[in-house]
Structure 1
């Protein structure tokens, strides 16, 4: 499976969630499970790249708006000092 250029983040995430559900059921033959797993890895990388791009855009927008302030959140969603 190659990730289509016009695939949106939301579509890729939806496909990834579907693959995870199929793999969690454990009903697929090994070869098909491996194919699904490989596709899942590709989708994960695709989504990661999309998120990194979006994060970069947000940082640029914040800089242009004069808000060069990064907030760090811990694993519990509480804002930390920065």
Structure 2
């Protein structure tokens, strides 16, 4: 069986069935980009910049204050996000 023509799995497919959590108060931008759905390097960097400027996130909803992060992104990741 050859996989040469098989498409690469998406991030969601790659981790399907695995419980993924990430602490947004301690994770690096690289970790956030890999672990959160719909968050790439740029948005992950914005999360880290916001955290450095304002301190730890007190609630998941506070992520909406980060440039590029909206309710839809939070909803996609609500089960992945840890605050402590």
TM-score normalised to structure 1 length: 0.25
Larger Rg: 1
TM-score normalised to structure 2 length: 0.25
